[in-house]
Chain A
Amino acid sequence: MLACRDLTVAYGDIVALRGVDLAVNAGETVALIGANGAGKTTLLQTISGLNKVRSGEMLFKDEPLGPRSSAERVRMGIAHAPEGRRIFPGLTVQENLIVATAAWRRLGKSCEAELGQVFDLFPRLKERRHQLGWSLSGGEQQMLAIGRALMSRPKFLLLDEPSLGLAPRLAEEVYDRVGRISKTGLTILVVEQNTVLALAVANRGYVLETGRVVLAGSADELRRSDRVREAYLGR
């Protein structure tokens, strides 16, 4: 579904990604792990159209993504739950979710079906559907961010560090849901610092270190690899 070939992204003279080769096939869940500053968020933002590509190419369903604006990419089916949640604090849970249907919904059409699906997945959100965004806990906000991404009828879901700032138990709960979403056949690329959680839901993974892919393999292979520990804590 997504293919990155020799992707290089830079901010001014800081090179954030160097020659990255990465692919996500339809129906797969792929984990992108690595230490902070490795370039994981940069990659997701580039896929979403928030960064310009210095060189290399990105293909979505075999078509180059290059010239497409972020809004177009959402319409094409790419949904992004950004780092730090970024939900709308002044809107209620329900409003946050409905806002995300702008990509496909026409005036008058209802989004009850999609809302129902999200509330099934996250019953806690259903309980709080009329609560304002800022009053939710970190974990609930994370669920809302994922739910919001799901509302846009995505074909490809990008999750940026869903466990960030969450207590271990909440992070596990969130990942449990991600696992369920993954089983419905949705293609997912999840970026994570916490390797155990990420590899628990993924089929395959890539390890990023200072902008380069240093290791790639199945989730099992990565789980057993020492190289992963080195990428985080040095040699």
Chain B
Amino acid sequence: MTILDARGISKRYGGLLALADVDLSVAESEFVALIGPNGAGKSTLLNVLTGLTPPTSGTITLNARNVTRSATHSRIRAGLGRTFQHGRLFERLSVLENVMVGAANRPGRSDTALRKAALDTLGLMGLERFAHQPISALTYGNRRMVELTRALAGQPRILLLDEPGAGLNSGEVEDLMTRLRAIRAEHRLAIVLIEHNMGMVMRLAERIVVLNFGSKIAEGTPTAIQADPAVLDAYLGAGSSYAGV
């Protein structure tokens, strides 16, 4: 069943068309990667999907609900989760409190219940020992993991990850990939991943969507995408699909 269905998304900033008629559909438990050169519109698409900026045209359906005009917090409560490039944590709150904020996206849970939910999620991610530490004490890699944990604590049905691997060393990337696979399997969570680390993308994604200059130029399995001339052109430059021949 389809969790997220974005149709005909266009975004215009004055004279600049940042997104042109982009369709993105994600089914339950699917792992989709969104790639494309710098400036292709990937983060813009994420911002439109999460409600940070309205689309100029197009519709967004989440869990069969039309959320095109909904506020960000409504979309989160409807099952969306998102992490940011470089991670955005609440610096004044402890690790546990950060995750508790994530767990609180549904009204009515008592503080004790929130605390337990947060500790459970931290445990799932192997981060319980950091629970009472201030954010400033974390390494960059752990910060990104805490942000991911916070998003997971909200029990989303679909998670949008913006370059989760950026700035991580290879060991941390491996760890991240293992966790993503595990979480997805256990919670039947759909994931949309923006990444430049092609190693991650090719090994994790079932389906890859490629953007360039705001349009979708290709969509398919990792193997297909790696051989797609339009994709090669986009990354390496026009005429590059003939390079190496």
Name A's B-contacting residues (CB within 8 A). Answer: 11-15, 35-37, 161, 164-165, 167-168, 193-198, 210, 223-226, 228-229, 232-235
Give the CA-CA distance A224 to B204 in the complex, in Å: 29
Question: How big is chain B's contact interface, by range?
Answer: 20 to 34
Residues of B within 8 A of A12 (CB): 140
Q: How far apart sit A234 and B223, CA to CA, in the bound complex (Å)?
A: 10
A residues in contact with B244, CB < 8 Å: 224-226, 229
Q: Taking the complex as formed, is B101 at the interface, i.e. its CB lies under 8 A from any CB of chain A?
A: no
Contact of A164 among B39, B199, B238 (CB under 8 A): B39
Tell me whether B232 and A165 are in contact (CB under 8 A): no
Q: Evaluate whether A223 and B243 lie within 8 angstroms (CB atoms) in the complex, with A13-B139, A196-B238, A234-B201 already known.
A: yes
Q: How near does chain B come to A207, taking the closest CB pair, in angstroms?
A: 11
Q: Kindly list the 6 A-B residue pairs having the minimum CB-CB distance in the complex, ordered from nearest.
A: A196-B237, A234-B198, A36-B196, A194-B237, A165-B39, A14-B167
Instruction: Scan B170-203; emit 1 where CB is below 8 A from any A CB, else 0.
Output: 1000000000000000000000000011110110
Bound complex: CA of A35 vs CA of B202, how far in Å? 15
Interface string of B203-220 (1 = CB under 8 A from A): 000000000010000000
Additional pairs, 17, CB under 8 Å, beyond known A196-B243, A229-B240? A14-B140, A15-B169, A36-B38, A36-B196, A193-B235, A194-B235, A194-B236, A194-B237, A195-B237, A195-B240, A196-B238, A196-B240, A198-B237, A224-B244, A232-B235, A232-B236, A235-B202
- List residues of chain B with CB within 8 A of the CB of A210: 170, 197
- Shortest B31–chain A CB gap in Å is 16
Cross-chain contact of B226 among A13, A36, A233 (Cβ < 8 A): A233
Least Cβ–Cβ distance between A201 and chain B, in angstroms: 12
Query: Any chain A CB within 8 A of the CB of B37?
Result: yes
A225 to B243, CA, bound (A): 8
